[in-house]
Copies of this chain bind each other. A is one copy, B any other.
Amino acid sequence: MTAPLHEAHPTSPGRRLPDTQQGMRRRNLSRVMHTVNAEGPLSRAAVASRIGLTRAAVSTLVDELVRAGLLDELGPERPGRVGRPGSALALSGRGPAGIGAEVGVDHLAVCAVDLRGQVRARAVRQGTNRGRPSEPVIAELTALVRQVVTEAEREGLWPAGLAVAVPGLVARDARTVIRAPNLDWHDTDLGTLLTGDAPLTGDLPLTVDNEANFGGLAELWLGDGTPRDFLHVSAEIGIGAAVVVDGRLLRGTRGFAGELGHVPVRPEGPACACGGRGCLEQYAGEEAVLRAAGVEPGEGRVGLLAERAAEGDKDVRRALRGAGTALGIALTGAVNLLDPETVVLGGALAGLAPWLLPSLERELTRRTTGPARAVTVSRLGPEGPLLGAAHSVVRGVLDDPAAVSGRQ
């Protein structure tokens, strides 16, 4: 039994550890962590039988993980049984934490998630970031991160990494925002801004990614019965998608995959900032929907749309029907190309789903053959990107616990 980690836990980013004895040990540490994560609390014997190693080998691994503060021993379990009682193992609630951050167009948010997946600290600042230079925005975000880290440390946690979700295209270096049109940022190196003059927290590993990608990963990791092949569509101001194939995020050659917002819906339609015409965002983006509904732009408009639609406002309902139709046309193309098991509506779209879905599903059904495609609504909604960011750090710890075990 030496199945590599990324086979045993195919939802992980697939970091491949080297095939040396050291690599084997690190993989086995990860297998213990993932087993306890999936099925814990478990005794050492139960872990050993799950992963096919000897009890002795597992005990050595577990001792190392307990010493590193990644596993907790909960004390004797099932005392009625014969033999020395096994101590149940659980992921630590006081060990490393994933720090997730989100640069939204209308808000900033940061949270800390422990290895058990619980949000343990949280900070939000409302207010538009549209058109603001990146420096003051990132300075505010840094302050929120410090606040959340301090709060997490008070609970006995220590930050294992910081992942930042942004509404734009991110280079494959996972630091540089190439283009975030709704912030008006271009070639912005968040790495320097976040770790430059006043290093945030020493050598805290940093990952920057598109918010739609983190939203899709959150759905994969935290969704209720989400399959391993799906298309996750989300919206804040723009519209993005995450393509998940066989439990992995499809990133594309430049890291730009999932730009559903610029799929042409009506090729001779209104001009789009991207240079094209009739892109999906021109029909289903927040600005287009507000315009069609006769609602002034501003903060909190998605909530207002949902409120008015629920009250029966005809203009709002018509605008959302139109957005649903455009989404259905663009998704027909995506479904024909990718043949996903389901389409999941997340982000701001989740809250508007009751009024988007009928027209969306009508287009999808009449334009695609075969059995109707399931369209589901994410229960994470607008929380997806932030949670996905924090959980990506936690998954990184489960995938390679040895990499953080000396760091706290």
Q: Which residues of A contact B (CB under 8 A)?
A: 1-4, 7, 16, 19, 179, 227, 229, 241, 243, 245, 250-260, 262-267, 274-277, 329-330, 332-334, 336-341, 363, 366-370
User: Across the interface, do B369 and A251 meet the contact criterion of CB distance under 8 Å?
Assistant: no
Most interface-central of A251, A258, A332 (chain B CB within 10 A): A332
Beyond A267-B265, A329-B267, A330-B333, whether A340 also contacts B276 by CB under 8 A is no
Query: What are 26 A-to-B residue pairs whose CB atoms are below 8 Å?
Result: A7-B16, A227-B253, A229-B252, A229-B253, A243-B337, A243-B338, A245-B245, A250-B338, A252-B338, A253-B340, A253-B341, A254-B339, A257-B338, A257-B339, A258-B337, A259-B339, A262-B336, A263-B333, A264-B265, A264-B367, A266-B267, A275-B367, A277-B367, A330-B333, A333-B334, A337-B337
User: Across the interface, do B369 and A257 meet the contact criterion of CB distance under 8 Å?
Assistant: no
User: Across the interface, do A260 and B336 meet the contact criterion of CB distance under 8 Å?
Assistant: yes
> Beyond A256-B370, A262-B369, A265-B267: 15 further Cβ-contacts under 8 Å?
A229-B252, A250-B250, A252-B338, A252-B340, A256-B339, A257-B338, A257-B339, A262-B336, A262-B367, A262-B368, A264-B265, A275-B367, A275-B368, A276-B368, A277-B367
Distance, CA A38 to CA B265, complexed state (A): 45
Identify which of B19, B263, B367 contacts A2 (C-beta below 8 A). B19
Distance between A331 CB and nearest chain B CB, rounded to angstroms: 10
In the complex formed, the residue of B with least CB distance to A329 is B267
Q: Which residues from B are CB-within-8-Å of A257?
A: 337-339
Q: Which residues from B are CB-within-8-Å of A227?
A: 253
In the complex formed, the residue of B with least CB distance to A272 is B367
User: Across the interface, do A250 and B245 meet the contact criterion of CB distance under 8 Å?
Assistant: yes
Q: Which residues from B are CB-within-8-Å of A264?
A: 265, 329, 332-333, 367
Q: Which residues from B are CB-within-8-Å of A329?
A: 264, 267
Distance, CA A245 to CA B251, complexed state (A): 10
User: Across the interface, do B369 and A275 meet the contact criterion of CB distance under 8 Å?
Assistant: yes
User: Across the interface, do A259 and B337 meet the contact criterion of CB distance under 8 Å?
Assistant: yes
Q: Which residues from B are CB-within-8-Å of A251?
A: 339
Most interface-central of A253, A257, A337 (chain B CB within 10 A): A337
Distance, CA A264 to CA B3, complexed state (A): 43
Distance between A30 CB and nearest chain B CB, rounded to angstroms: 17
Distance, CA A265 to CA B336, complexed state (A): 13
In the complex formed, the residue of B with least CB distance to A332 is B264
Q: Which residues from B are CB-within-8-Å of A367?
A: 262, 264, 274-277
Distance, CA A255 to CA B370, complexed state (A): 12
User: Across the interface, do A260 and B337 meet the contact criterion of CB distance under 8 Å?
Assistant: yes
Most interface-central of A265, A277, A340, A367 (chain B CB within 10 A): A367
The 8 nearest A-B residue pairs measured at CB: A252-B339, A276-B367, A263-B333, A259-B336, A257-B339, A256-B339, A253-B341, A333-B333
Q: Which residues from B are CB-within-8-Å of A276?
A: 332, 366-368
Distance, CA A330 to CA B254, complexed state (A): 20
Distance, CA A84 to CA B36, complexed state (A): 57
User: Across the interface, do B266 and A266 meet the contact criterion of CB distance under 8 Å?
Assistant: yes
Q: Which residues from B are CB-within-8-Å of A265?
A: 264, 267
Distance, CA A13 to CA B369, complexed state (A): 28
Q: Which residues from B are CB-within-8-Å of A267?
A: 265-266, 329, 363
User: Across the interface, do A255 and B339 meet the contact criterion of CB distance under 8 Å?
Assistant: yes
Distance, CA A276 to CA B370, complexed state (A): 12
Distance between A257 CB and nearest chain B CB, rounded to angstroms: 4
